[in-house]
Amino acid sequence: MLAAAVRLFNTRGYDATSMFDVAESLGITKSTLYHHVSGKEQLLTMAVDRALDGLFEAAEAALREESAATVRLKDLIRRSVLVLADRLEFVTLLLRVRGNTAAEQHALSRRRELDRIVTDLVKQAQAEGGVRADVDPATAARLLFGMVNSLIEWYRPDRGAPESIADTVADLAFDGLRHRA
Amino acid sequence: MLAAAVRLFNTRGYDATSMFDVAESLGITKSTLYHHVSGKEQLLTMAVDRALDGLFEAAEAALREESAATVRLKDLIRRSVLVLADRLEFVTLLLRVRGNTAAEQHALSRRRELDRIVTDLVKQAQAEGGVRADVDPATAARLLFGMVNSLIEWYRPDRGAPESIADTVADLAFDGLRHRA
DNA sequence: TGATTTACCGACCGATCGGGCGGTTAATGG
DNA sequence: CCATTAACCGCCCGATCGGTCGGTAAATCA
């Protein structure tokens, strides 16, 4: 049910999707839908929470590792890509939230916390000499996850296994496009 | 007037912004607004066209250069960042269009054409040996512009000159995060 | 000056939306 | 077998939306 709603939210947009549309796609009436969920915003909240929980688990797992910050950073990227691929539709919805309601504001603040985690990790990796120090860590973190998050715009399960995409992304992030002899 | 509308569209979302909101932010009534524009969708169309025109000009200027494909690719990235920064709000709106109306479909198809241009350029750069050949050119193009396009999520004029951001992005894209001795 | 155009407004319309209410059928459990 | 609960529906509501219309004030032009 949540999945059906999220699919509609992503294709038509959250505002443009009516509760009637959601109900219809499930073969039930709007009244019945309201018997199961408390309202439209709850569907949104459940969906973005599902996305955020996955991303936080990925981040925490990467941070827990006992390896150099540079290695943990690369792993954070890889794990994030896997979550993106696994919970594609939920993360898609999350990344489109603009913060008009209290629930959306809360989602945005959790996203900012993720941003802080990544920025800190970049900073540590720079300090230990694994990452070039001539880029602002916050800028690097944002560009990095701009690249990762772009997956929601084009990734489809038939375009390769998540693991291989994750490797490509992490590899490209660290070594760049340039050919090396 | 267009600028005011686009600003509202970006902060509250296109669907969530009423024509009354747009009129109010201009200090006029809805009727007066309709005296100047033909409808809500026209505002959208004008805005995304402004963004697309800029991006196409950037792409064509980069393609016109008489240099190696690798250099042209790097320049395309740089020029695109400059357009993003210059027409930030228009591009922001463009990148959020989901294709529900005919006008939005048209915008999406122009975006896909840009994608093709970049993919082709990556392919040429790989053929001449300037870009590593072990990544799928379409994937590389999408990740690359995922990174570039993420600017709309965080770039603010006070966060550095567009030119320096453009250099950072192009540099990171080609050489990666890794520190080199 | 008089005529025409341009900018502007208030009032209104049909459609759609999120959500609520009262009631009915189907399942469950003692 | 009966009572309780869960799943379901038709119908309705108040609010809001994009857009229209008839008309007025101000600018422009002959």
- Would you state the pLDDT for residue B33? 97
Across A40-47, average pLDDT: 96
C-beta within 7 A of nucleic chain C, residues 4-33 of B? 28-32
Asked if A134 contacts B177 with a C-beta cutoff of 8 angstroms, the reply is no
CB atoms within 10 A of CB B137: 19
Cα separation, B151 vs A81, in Å, equals 19
pTM of model > 0.85? yes
- Would you state the pLDDT for residue B181? 75
Contacts of B164 (CB under 8 A, 6+ apart): none
**pLDDT tens per residue across span A14-27:** 999 999 999 999 99
CB atoms within 10 A of CB A139: 20
> What would the CATH number be for the domain defined by B45-175?
1.10.357.10
Q: Percent of chain A beyond pLDDT 90? A: 97
Amino acid at A62: A
DSSP state of B83: H
DSSP state of B101: S
Asked if B141 contacts A137 with a C-beta cutoff of 8 angstroms, the reply is no
* Strand nucleotide closest to residue A32 (CA to C1'): D8
Q: Is the CB of A24 under 7 A from strand C?
A: no
> What would the CATH number be for the domain defined by B1-37?
1.10.10.60
Cα separation, A156 vs A151, in Å, equals 9
Across A35-60, average pLDDT: 97
Cα separation, B74 vs B70, in Å, equals 6
Amino acid at B68: A
What tokens were used for B125? 């750069």
Residue among A178, A166, A2 nearest A85 (CA): A166
Burial class (CB in 10 A: 0-12, 13-18, 19+), A156: exposed
Q: What angle do CA B171, A145, A124 make, to 5 degrees?
A: 75
| Nearest residue on chain A to B101, alpha-carbon basis | A12
- Enumerate the CATH 1.10.357.10 domain ranges in chain A, comma separated: 45-175
CB atoms within 10 A of CB A141: 23
Q: What is the DSSP string of A126-178?
A: HHTTSB-SSS-HHHHHHHHHHHHHTHHHH--GGGS-HHHHHHHHHHHHHH-SB
Collapsing DSSP to helix, strand or coil, B114 comes out as helix
Asked if A97 contacts A10 with a C-beta cutoff of 8 angstroms, the reply is no
Cβ-based contacts with strand D at under 7 Å: A 28-32, 35-36; B 17-21, 30-31, 34, 39-41
Residue B142 at interface with chain A, using a CB cutoff of 8 Å: yes
Residue among B32, B150, B33, B13 nearest B80 (CA): B150
In this complex, which of B12, B135, B168 lies closest to A139 when CB atoms are compared? B168
Helix axes A69-86, A137-149, angle to 10 degrees: 30
**pLDDT tens per residue across span B37-73:** 999 999 999 999 999 999 999 999 999 999 999 999 9
Which regions in chain B score pLDDT beneath 70? none
- Enumerate the CATH 1.10.10.60 domain ranges in chain B, comma separated: 1-37
Across A137-166, average pLDDT: 97
CA distances from B72 to A137, A155, A170, B47, B142 (A): 27, 26, 24, 28, 17
What tokens were used for A25? 């796609």
Residue among A49, A55, A60, A165 nearest A121 (CA): A60
Collapsing DSSP to helix, strand or coil, A179 comes out as coil
- Would you state the pLDDT for residue A181? 74
pLDDT of residue A102 exceeding 90, the answer is: yes
